[in-house]
Amino acid sequence: MVARGPSSARFWPVAETLSKEPVRTGKPGAGPAQPSRAGLVYGLSAYAMWGVFPIYFRAVAAVPPLLILCHRIFWSALFLRVVVSARTEWAAIWPALKSRRNVLMLSAGAVLIALNWLIFIYAVSTRQVLQASLGYFINPLLSIALGLIFLRERLRTGQWLAVSIAACAVLNLALRGHGFPWIAVSLAASFGFYGLVRKKVDINSLHGLMVETAILLPLALPLLFLLPTGNPPRATWGLLSLSGIITAVPLLCFGAALRRLQLSTIGFLQYIGPTLQFLVALFVFREPLDRSKLGSFVLCWAAIAVYVVDSLLSRRPQEVADEPE
DSSP notation for 249-307: HHHHHHHHHHHHS-HHHHHHHTTHHHHHHHHIIIIIS-----HHHHHHHHHHHHHHHHH
Query: Residue 318: its pLDDT value, please?
Result: 66
Give the amino acid at 220: A
133-153, pLDDT tens digit by residue? 999 999 888 888 888 888 777
Do the domain assignments include residue 9?
no
Average pLDDT over residues 95-105: 93
User: With 90 as the cut, is the pLDDT of residue 264 above it?
Assistant: no
Query: Residue 320: its pLDDT value, please?
Result: 67
Query: Residue 26: its pLDDT value, please?
Result: 44
Query: Residue 224: its pLDDT value, please?
Result: 94
% of the chain residues with pLDDT over 90: 61
Do the domain assignments include residue 18?
no
User: With 50 as the cut, is the pLDDT of residue 8 above it?
Assistant: no
User: With 50 as the cut, is the pLDDT of residue 113 above it?
Assistant: yes
Query: Residue 114: its pLDDT value, please?
Result: 96
Cα 312 to Cα 299: distance, rounded to the nearest angstrom: 20
Phi (first) and psi of residue 178, to 5 degrees: -100, 65
Cα 110 to Cα 219: distance, rounded to the nearest angstrom: 11
Give the amino acid at 66: L
- Name the average pLDDT for the chain: 85
Domain that includes residue 115, residue range: 35-314
Do the domain assignments include residue 7?
no
User: With 70 as the cut, is the pLDDT of residue 106 above it?
Assistant: yes
Q: Which helix (H) or strand (E) holds 188?
A: helix 182-198
User: With 80 as the cut, is the pLDDT of residue 171 above it?
Assistant: yes
85: DSSP letter: H
What's the domain count of the chain? Answer: 1
Cα 44 to Cα 265: distance, rounded to the nearest angstrom: 11
88: DSSP letter: T
Do the domain assignments include residue 14?
no
Question: Exposed e or buried b for every residue in 193-203, given b needs 16+ CB within 10 A?
Answer: bbbbbbbebeb
**How would residue 124 be classed by pLDDT, with cut points 50, 70 and 90?**
very high
User: With 70 as the cut, is the pLDDT of residue 119 above it?
Assistant: yes
Query: Residue 259: its pLDDT value, please?
Result: 83
195-220, pLDDT tens digit by residue? 888 888 888 888 999 999 999 999 99
175: DSSP letter: H
**How would residue 258 be classed by pLDDT, with cut points 50, 70 and 90?**
confident
Do the domain assignments include residue 29?
no
Do the domain assignments include residue 20?
no
Cα 61 to Cα 324: distance, rounded to the nearest angstrom: 20
10: DSSP letter: E
Do the domain assignments include residue 319?
no
Is residue 291 classed exposed, middle or buried when 0-12, 13-18 and 19+ CB atoms within 10 A define those classes?
A: exposed
Structural contact between residues 306 and 141, judged by C-beta atoms closer than 8 angstroms = no
Cα 18 to Cα 61: distance, rounded to the nearest angstrom: 32
How far is C-alpha 122 from the chain's CA centre?
Answer: 16
**How would residue 325 be classed by pLDDT, with cut points 50, 70 and 90?**
low
Query: Residue 314: its pLDDT value, please?
Result: 79
User: With 90 as the cut, is the pLDDT of residue 223 above it?
Assistant: yes
More confident of the two residues 257 and 70? 70
What is the pTM (predicted TM-score) of this model?
Answer: 0.85
How far is C-alpha 282 from the chain's CA centre?
Answer: 21
Cα 72 to Cα 213: distance, rounded to the nearest angstrom: 9
Count of Cβ atoms closer than 10 Å to residue 231 Cβ: 7
Structural contact between residues 307 and 156, judged by C-beta atoms closer than 8 angstroms = no
More confident of the two residues 119 and 22? 119
Structural contact between residues 227 and 67, judged by C-beta atoms closer than 8 angstroms = yes
17-75, pLDDT tens digit by residue? 344 444 444 444 444 445 578 899 999 999 999 999 999 999 999 999 999 999 999 99
Structural contact between residues 105 and 201, judged by C-beta atoms closer than 8 angstroms = yes
Rounded to 10°, the helix 129-150/157-176 angle is 140
Do the domain assignments include residue 322?
no
- Most confident among 8-12, 188-192, 262-266 (mean pLDDT): 188-192
Is residue 223 classed exposed, middle or buried when 0-12, 13-18 and 19+ CB atoms within 10 A define those classes?
A: middle
